[in-house]
Chains A and B, each alone.
Chain A
Amino acid sequence: AQSVTQLGSHVSVSEGALVLLRCNYSSSVPPYLFWYVQYPNQGLQLLLKYTSAATLVKGINGFEAEFKKSETSFHLTKPSAHMSDAAEYFCAVRYGGATNKLIFGTGTLLAVQP
């Protein structure tokens, strides 16, 4: 079944430290991949997306993600965490075809310590 896995439901980093949020997809066919951010009681906002044009994708707020086909991964990183980065982050995948469903992972809640 097509799915996406986010390792680590909770991640805590210190302000200024590297942020690394993990996402792996399950398919031999590379999908289209997305990272979203959600602040409490709000909808989701797109951070970045991979659509096969480039393996390293830069997004908003200093985030970037690298598509690695050999590892079936699309991990999200930010060199230096800011307090305002505290939120929940979701990886999502779409394979296209007849259904074209957008499938989400279970999310990673990022805490940033002062």
Chain B
Amino acid sequence: DGGITQSPKYLFRKEGQNVTLSCEQNLNHDAMYWYRQDPGQGLRLIYYSQIVNDFQKGDIAEGYSVSREKKESFPLTVTSAQKNPTAFYLCASSMAGANTEAFFGQGTRLTVV
């Protein structure tokens, strides 16, 4: 089945540690996105990539980093510089056109302990 796979579903991190969230898609989509979801704030864009080896900062990129070495993969690293990393993280992908919808993974819930 085609789709987007995020792993792990739940992740616990100690303060001061970096952690990487995985996102893989087999939909042959060019564009991929990372969003952060907090209660009452909707989805806020962290980073997005429209093509391999290129990515742009979203609205809340500070404390996060990404790479896009393969079309299928767009991992997100939450660094120790992110002051409040506890949140639900969603990865999405879409075809290149503006009129195309995004498809979402099931999310990763990150908790700092």
Contacts and interface: CB of A to CB of B under 8 A. Distances in A.
Secondary structure type dominating chain A contacts: loop
Nearest to A36: B104
Nearest to B45: A101
Contacts of B42: 6, 90, 104-107
Interface residue tally of chain A, by bracket? Answer: 20 to 34
B31 interface: yes
Interface string B24-39: 0000000101010000
B87 interface: no
A6 B42 CA distance: 10
Nearest to A106: B42
A84 interface: no
Interface in B69-111: 88, 90, 92, 94, 96-99, 101-107, 109
A110 to B, nearest CB: 15
A102 B50 contact: no
Contacts of A42: 106-107
A96 B101 contact: no
A14 interface: no
B17 interface: no
Given A43-B90, A100-B50, A95 B43 contact: no
A49 B101 contact: yes
B32 to A, nearest CB: 11
A34 interface: yes
Interface in A15-74: 32, 34, 36, 41-46, 49, 51-52
12 contacts: A43-B6, A43-B106, A45-B104, A46-B101, A94-B99, A96-B99, A100-B98, A101-B45, A102-B94, A102-B102, A106-B40, A107-B40
Interface of B: 4, 6, 31, 33, 35, 40-45, 48, 50, 56, 58, 88, 90, 92, 94, 96-99, 101-107, 109
